[in-house]
Structure 1
Amino acid sequence: MNKWIAPLCMLLCFQAQATEYRFSYSELYSKLKYSLKEEYTAVGTGVYFVNPTTQLPCSVEKSWMEKEAHYETLSFPPSGKLPLPLDGNLKSANPLVYVHTDSTTQCDYSVALVANEPYALDIHSDYLEVVIPEFQLLLEDISGMFSSWFAPTISGITLEFIELETGEVMLSNNQTLPITGHRAHITLADLKDGVVATLPTSPSRIMPYIQQ
């Protein structure tokens, strides 16, 4: 795994044996509030529950919010992103948020930097020219005033494909980029001179990439 996965998860990844996770809404809101800032039009943060070995989404049996007599079910998408609505009134009410994962799987809970959906099958350089600077700014924003001085430079995007462990991303210049371990990386250098990357299927999520 890329050594910068930890910073890109806001240094907030941990393992848990339990099948039930419980959070206060305000706790989660503090980690996801960056998605509401006006300067981030293409990226944000998301809470994920993933297998620590494959880094693919865990099976979530059920999830919900509750506060006294109020109850709302949360339906997880295939990407494994917690579908938590961000709302000031909910923050004030501060309900509890519960997530039940498959009891046979040990999961990691993490907060990751992700591009906003929906994702196109064709990736152009102008898309990277928008998301890369926003990822960089978001990483530095999350890292804080002094930690941002040591934040790594984001040079591209990481595409995650739940259904594809291996494969290829086709480039319009007849070159290819490998999909390995369900992930492929695209940098601005790969798409110079108008080259377009065509994906074999829609990615489950798009995250930052730091070139080694």
Structure 2
Amino acid sequence: MNKHLLRILSLSMVLAASSSVQAQQYMFTYSKLYSQLKNNLKSGHDDVKVGFFFVDSRTEQLCTISKAWMEKEQHYEELKVSPINELVVPLDQNLRQANPLIFVETPRAQQCNFSMVVMAKQNLSGTVSYQTLAQLVSQMQTTLNDLGGMFARWFTPEIQGVTLEFDADTANDIQLSNGKKIRVTHGQAQVTLSEIGEGGSIKLPQTTKRVLPYLLNTN
């Protein structure tokens, strides 16, 4: 993921370590996530969502979630983990009131940070038009502003394009309709709307794993 995006969207919530030899364990409360999750119900950004992941603090690659669950007194419920290691947390007002503990286990060899991101709901593949990407960027900006609160639009950098994530071994370039190419490095590439140009398109080497905002370095 773009390191500048991580500075804005990522949260480190390493609250507990497992004594297990096999796994590193992280613990936090449901209420920590609810206020962010409820943004997924708002209208106006139907193609994007808030997603939860764990990211290796050294490599910035996604950590494997081996197990995740919720606990509250005698109640226990396992949480789903997507094929790309997204932590799937249900949005439920009753759970907010009960505020169960959430536990996540990752490989013990990795030190992982909890990462909240704005991402496209659907993967992209084949030829993707400027219009499709511009719509995603607009919705990502709205969601990012919503996450930041009332004054976010004054301080949140403008999203310039998208960060496209593929399998780590992807070697082929992204082809732009204007003849330019964008290199995929370590399974990731950034594409700005200005590079594509209105009416243009991009051709992807394979289906994306994640589509995230791309914010230029504003330092």
Same fold flag (TM > 0.5): yes
Q: How much identity, in percent, do the aligned residues show?
A: 36
Count of residue pairs the alignment pairs up? 210
Q: Normalising by structure 2, what TM-score?
A: 0.84
Secondary structure at the aligned position of 2:43 is classed as coil
Give 3-state SS (helix, strand or coil) of 1:105's partner: coil
After the TM superposition, list the runs of 4 or more consecutive aligned residues in structure 1 that deviate by more than 4 angstroms. Answer: 14-17
* Residue 60 to residue 4, structure 1, CA distance change in 2 (3 Å): closer
- TM-superposed CA distance for 1:68, in Å, is 3.4
Alignment of 1:20-169 (within 5 A): 20-164=25-169, 166-169=171-174
Distance 1:184 1:159 in 2: 5
Question: Which amino acid in the other structure matches residue 4 of structure 2?
Answer: K
Alpha-carbon distance in structure 1 between the residues aligned to 2:45 and 2:212: 14
Cα distance in structure 1, aligned partners of 2:47 and 2:194: 20
Question: Counterpart amino acid of 2:86?
Answer: K
Is 1:6 matched up with 2:7?
yes
Instruction: Give the superposition deviation at 1:180.
Output: 1.7
Displacement of 1:209 after TM fit?
0.7
CA contact (8 A) 1:16 1:106 kept: no
On the 8 A contact 2:125/2:206 being kept in 1, the answer is no
How far apart, CA to CA, are the structure 1 residues paired with 2:135 and 2:42? 16
Cα pair 1:15 1:106 within 8 Å, conserved? no
Do 1:45 and 1:111's aligned partners in 2 also have CA atoms closer than 8 Å? yes
Comparing 52-61 with 42-51, which one deviates more in the overlay? 52-61
Q: Answer with 83-92 or 161-170: which moved more.
A: 161-170
Could you tell me which residue of structure 1 aligns to residue 202 of structure 2? 197
Residues 85 and 120 (structure 1), Cα distance of their counterparts in 2 relative to 1, 3 Å cut: farther
Range 171-180 or range 160-169, more displaced? 160-169
SS of residue paired to 2:189: strand
Q: 2:213 corresponds to which residue?
A: 208
The structural deviation recorded for 1:59 is 1.9
The DSSP-based 3-state class of the residue aligned with 1:203 is: coil
User: How far does residue 208 in structure 1 lie from its aligned partner after superposition?
Assistant: 0.6
Deviation at 1:65, TM superposition (A): 1.7
CA RMSD of aligned residues (A): 2.3
Cα separation, 2, equivalents of 1:16 and 1:103: 15
Listed as ranges, the gaps of 5+ residues in structure 2 are: 18-23
| 1:6 and 1:13 in contact (8 A); partners too | no
Q: CA deviation at 1:29?
A: 1.2
Structure 2 residue matching 1:206: 3-state secondary structure: strand
What SS does the corresponding residue of 2:36 show, helix, strand or coil? Answer: helix
TM-score by length of 1: 0.86
Amino acid at match of 2:131: D
How far apart in 1 are the matches of 2:15 and 2:112? Answer: 6
**In structure 2, C-alpha distance between the alignment counterparts of 1:86 and 1:171, rounded to whole Å:** 39
Match of 2:21 in 1: none
Instruction: Flag the 1:53–1:181 CA change in 2: closer, same or farther, 3 A.
Output: farther
Distance 2:51 2:159 in 1: 18
Secondary structure in 2 matching 1:60:
coil
